[in-house]
Amino acid sequence: MNKRPVYVTVLGYVLIAAGAIGIAYHFTEFKTTPPSEYLLVLGVRLIAIVGGVFLLRGKDWARWLAIAWIAFHLVISIFHTKEGILVHAVVLVVFCILLFLPAANRYFRARA
């Protein structure tokens, strides 16, 4: 059985933390945000948590979910600053590289 690579562990916990912190941050906007928008934000944060948890559990689909999650953030950052686009693009590239390194491939395939 293949051990989980450290960088997969780190990415999993980063996603969980990003989701949890995002929920806590946006919770303060609950009364002033339309319910549909708030539910969308909540859903995006929950996707991060689910992706992180299942990355740690070795589910292959979770790495695709993690990549889709950060790609979504890259797309919505287009409507913000150039720095935001750059940061999200770099994070997306890092996610793609780390989640498809040979050790990560072995880890996810061993769990399939």
Residue 79, Cα to own-chain centre: how many angstroms? Answer: 20
**Rounded Cα distance, 86 and 96, in Å:** 15
pLDDT digits (tens, 9 = 90+) for 8-17: 999 999 999 9
Tell me phi and psi for residue 80, to 5 degrees: -120, -130
- 74: in domain: yes
**Pairwise pLDDT comparison (28 vs 97), residue with the higher score:** 97
| Residue 43: domain span | 6-111
- 1: in domain: no
Q: State the pLDDT confidence band at 39, using cuts at 50, 70 and 90.
A: confident
**Least confident interval from 39-43, 61-65, 85-89:** 39-43
Q: State the pLDDT confidence band at 25, using cuts at 50, 70 and 90.
A: confident
- 106: in domain: yes
Q: In the predicted model, is pLDDT for residue 34 greater than 90?
A: no
Burial class of residue 77 (count of CB atoms within 10 Å of its CB; 0-12, 13-18, 19+): middle
Number of domains the chain is built from: 1
- 15: in domain: yes
- 54: in domain: yes
